[in-house]
Amino acid sequence: MASFEYNGNPSRVIFGSGTLSMLAAELARLEVCTPLFLSTPEQQGPTLELAKSLGARADHLFAEATMHTPLHITEKALGVANTCGVDSFVSLGGGSTIGLGKALSVRTGLVHICIPTTYAGSEMTPILGETVNGLKTTRRDPAILPTTVIYDVDLTLTLPAMMSATSGINAIAHAVEALYAANKNPIVSVLALEGIRPLARSLPTLVSSPSDISARKDALFGAWLCGFCLGSVDMALHHKLCHTLGGSFNLPHAETHTIILPHALAYNAPAIPEAMQKLAEVLPDSDGDAIKGLNVLLERLGVRTALKDFGLTEEDVTKAAEIALSKPYPNPRTLEMASIQELIRRAWVGEKAR
């Protein structure tokens, strides 16, 4: 085994079904009592219900969380937090709401309890992406990491089938890139494979039976491990392309990850034989070929596979390749303009990765 460095991210996790009931005890444990509850407009109902169950005032809910954490929303929420005199934040939702919770807690130093309801994994990372004047910048700081994460499988039952599928592939993408990260290590690699395994098994079940609680448990547990991978090691080409397509062309987050993953993996495959072999072992019906395993999984999920379906134009393909290669970053295979352009073109048309 090669020498390696490992830095553990300190966070407390509560996992299970019905665990939302432990929020009151967790607030008491952290010696806070007046949180500002955060949600998207779509999840305002369940978040308000939660706030009321804890005796919070209705104005202690800020339900304007939105994708890419725009600064003006964070500043508006900060104003509400100051007016209400809150001592903590509780974010209930996917990566968008958790991003707002991180933006607020890192600015104020207040406790942040996260209650994730998708598989995106932001709750496990000390990473925050924020948008100012349409430009998204990302930073990493241990202070961004949430104080406590409460995973309640029951809250994922309402995640629609297609969102479950694409969000689950978003999670798998974190673990895939962890297997060949420049700073990969054996601990994170084990967690990556053990994160992919339950997700690959449960996602097809969730598409046909979104309320299958056993499959929901598997998927959320897998998402936790995959999110941990994202927060622990550096990501490469796949995440760079998705960041570019989301940030500069406004493509939807989980759907973009789903389309790009097999193409980015196929690009890197010649440089990562060991990772490809391990990946093939945890993808059902791969027959020893990780790309085949991924293609089989995407087919079973019935997800969309062409970026052009989400508004990317043919001219954008070259622009996206240029932006994605404008700054150097570690990747197992050398990044060549023509090949990356071809990768994005194939994903744009919806061709199968090979």
262 lies in the site for ligand NAD, by CB under 6 A: no
Token pair listed for 149: 């994460």
Q: Would you say 34 or 46 has its CB closer to ligand NAD?
A: 46
Q: What radius of gyration do the chain's Cα atoms show?
A: 20
Cβ–Cβ contacts within 10 Å for residue 212, how many?
15
343 lies in the site for ligand NAD, by CB under 6 A: no
CB of 97 to ligand NAD, least distance (A): 6
Site mask for ligand NAD (CB under 6 A), range 54-83, x = bound: -------------xx---------------
232 lies in the site for ligand NAD, by CB under 6 A: no
Distance between CA atoms of 111 and 97, rounded to whole angstroms? 15
Token pair listed for 136: 């998204």
Q: Distance of alpha carbon 59 from its chain centroid, rounded? A: 29
CB of 120 to ligand NAD, least distance (A): 3
CB of 76 to ligand NAD, least distance (A): 17
Q: Distance of alpha carbon 79 from its chain centroid, rounded? A: 27
DSSP letters of 324-344?
A: HTSS----SS---HHHHHHHH
Q: Would you say 162 or 280 has its CB closer to ligand NAD?
A: 162
Query: Within positions 152 to 171, which residues make up the interface with ligand NAD, using CB under 6 A?
Result: 155-156, 158-159, 163, 167
User: Of residues 35, 70, 95, 204, which one binds ligand NAD by CB under 6 A?
Assistant: 95
256 lies in the site for ligand NAD, by CB under 6 A: no
CB of 318 to ligand NAD, least distance (A): 24
Distance between CA atoms of 89 and 137, rounded to whole angstroms? 23
* Nearest-CB residue for ligand NAD: 95
Q: Would you say 117 or 295 has its CB closer to ligand NAD?
A: 117
Choices 19-27, 112-120, 180-188, 322-330 (CB under 6 A): range interacting with ligand NAD: 112-120
CB of 174 to ligand NAD, least distance (A): 8
User: Of residues 117, 185, 286, 331, which one binds ligand NAD by CB under 6 A?
Assistant: 117
User: Of residues 20, 114, 127, 153, which one binds ligand NAD by CB under 6 A?
Assistant: 127
CB of 141 to ligand NAD, least distance (A): 11
189 lies in the site for ligand NAD, by CB under 6 A: no
Cβ–Cβ contacts within 10 Å for residue 138, how many?
11
Paired with 92 in beta bridges are 115
User: Of 31, 93, 106, 20, which is closest to residue 61 (Cα–Cα)?
Assistant: 93
Q: Would you say 69 or 286 has its CB closer to ligand NAD?
A: 69
Choices 15-23, 55-63, 122-130, 201-209 (CB under 6 A): range interacting with ligand NAD: 122-130
Contact status, residue 318 vs residue 341, Cβ threshold 8 Å: yes
Indicate the helix (H) or strand (E) that contains 12: strand 12-16
DSSP letters of 128-185?
A: EEEEETTEEEEEE-GGGS-SEEEEEGGGGGGS-HHHHHHHHHHHHHHHHHHHT-TT--
Residues whose CB is less than 8 angstroms from the CB of residue 19 and which lie 6 or more positions away in sequence, other chains included: 150, 151, 152
User: Of residues 125, 232, 268, 286, which one binds ligand NAD by CB under 6 A?
Assistant: 125
Distance between CA atoms of 295 and 272, rounded to whole angstroms? 18
**Would you tell me which residues interact with ligand NAD (CB under 6 A)?**
40, 42-43, 67-68, 93-97, 99, 117-118, 120-122, 125, 127-129, 155-156, 158-159, 163, 167, 230, 253-254
